[in-house]
Amino acid sequence: MEPQSLSMLQRILRLPWLFLITISAIAALGIATLQSIEVNGISILADQQLIRYLIALVLMLTAALVPPAIWQRLSYPLFALSVVLVLLVPLIGVSPPGAGARRWLMLFGISLQPSEFLKVALVLGLARYFHTLPDNKISHPFYLLVPALMILAPLWPIFLQPDLGTALMVAMIGAGMVFLAGTSSLYFLTAGILAVSALPVLWAGLMPYQRERVFTFLDPERDPLGAGYHLLQSKIAIGSAGLWGKGADHATQSQLSFLPEKHTDFIFAMFTEERGFIGAIGLMGLYILAFALLSLMAIRTPSIFGRLTISGMALTLFLYVFINMGMVMGLLPVVGVPLPLMSYGGTSILSIMSGLGVALSSFVYRDDGT
């Protein structure tokens, strides 16, 4: 049977079910962790997160069954739209009560964070660009101007929100895509030298609270009740968990609300306090399995667009996990990066799952030559 004649049922059967089970297991652990959090005496976060995940799962499966040629044609318009939305944030953006950063837009009564969708759109846009670029031009300086502009264009408005963590993630995703496309490593060596040389300028441009985060990272105990509070409570939660954890009923740091942002950026600390070292290792193992499965799918996908899209989403997922776990364990400065599929929030889970669905479409249609 020719690949083009496969029915929709056969396409569904070609979905990477082990990968779908893996990410669903991660999401289930996140929902179970949120179950113990009460708002005004009612546990509602887990129910809301479950609904969001089911919606995101439907979107992901739908995107996975759309031919990748369609996603390839839509990649530039989606990237342009995401950049426009990011540019609108400093102008008409909103911030939640008590938050100083303006990172959200209200569209049709729905709050969303455009920078989350930008990460996925950047992967698609760069994948299409390098898919159409001949091999002998990939490392040519002139042809690297377009991807450089695609990466740099949204960085400044994101930095102004201010959201240094997301700006760095966008830069790393873009640089990773350029590297995965096969660009000469000399460019990255030169960029690394320039980045180190520019550190004094970057330091001067940081907001006071961003500098404080760096100081806190180096010495959390310099301000234990202020800037260092988040990190110290996170370390206490993780360090006191033991091998098997304390359980939801005896997790003092999270249940007694010593641990801030326990349902979003610091959910890994809450999860570890409740589930212990064994639980933390198990969660890391699920993420590693997800990365490995995405890497295998990329290897098996002949299309350059498909291979770069899958690899780019694997890189995006890895950066989310690496930065989030690193910051809650005190290995990296604290930035506003959620733990994918675990942290409470709609924009993050919808953008990640949608991006994974687009990536999976190239795997499902891998024999079609698109």
- Integer Cα distance of 279 and 283 in angstroms: 6
- Integer Cα distance of 273 and 238 in angstroms: 5
In sequence order, the 6+-apart residues with CB closer than 8 A to the CB of 83 are: 118, 121, 153, 154
- Integer Cα distance of 222 and 216 in angstroms: 7
In a domain, 116, yes or no: yes
In a domain, 67, yes or no: yes
In a domain, 132, yes or no: yes
In a domain, 369, yes or no: no
Long-range pairs for 111-115 at CB < 8 Å and ≥24 separation?
A: 111/346, 111/347, 112/346, 112/347, 113/347, 113/348, 114/82, 114/85, 114/86, 114/88, 114/89, 115/86, 115/89, 115/154, 115/158, 115/161, 115/163, 115/166, 115/170
Q: Which domain holds residue 49?
A: 3-364
Q: Average pLDDT by consecutive 10-residue portion of the chain (370 residues)? A: 63 92 96 79 81 95 95 96 89 63 70 88 96 90 93 84 82 94 90 85 76 75 72 87 85 77 89 94 97 96 95 96 92 86 89 95 82
Digit-coded pLDDT (tens) for 45-90: 889 999 999 999 999 999 999 999 999 999 999 999 999 998 888 7
pTM above 0.85, yes or no: yes
pLDDT attached to residue 158? 83
- Integer Cα distance of 369 and 311 in angstroms: 18
Segment (H or E) for 48: helix 45-64
pLDDT attached to residue 251? 80
In a domain, 370, yes or no: no
In a domain, 355, yes or no: yes
254: left (phi over 0), alpha (psi -120 to 50) or beta: alpha
Digit-coded pLDDT (tens) for 175-232: 999 999 999 889 889 888 988 888 888 787 777 777 777 777 777 777 776 667 878 8
Q: Residue 310's closest CA among 293, 287, 322? A: 293
In a domain, 115, yes or no: yes
Count of domains for the chain: 1
In a domain, 327, yes or no: yes
In sequence order, the 6+-apart residues with CB closer than 8 A to the CB of 3 are: 365, 367, 368
In sequence order, the 6+-apart residues with CB closer than 8 A to the CB of 135 are: 182
- Integer Cα distance of 286 and 20 in angstroms: 11
Q: Burial letters for 121-150: b for 16+ Cβ neighbours within 10 Å, e otherwise?
A: bbbbbbbbbbbebeeeebbeeebbeebeeb
Spatial contact of 292 and 18, defined as CB atoms under 8 Å apart: no
- Integer Cα distance of 329 and 198 in angstroms: 28
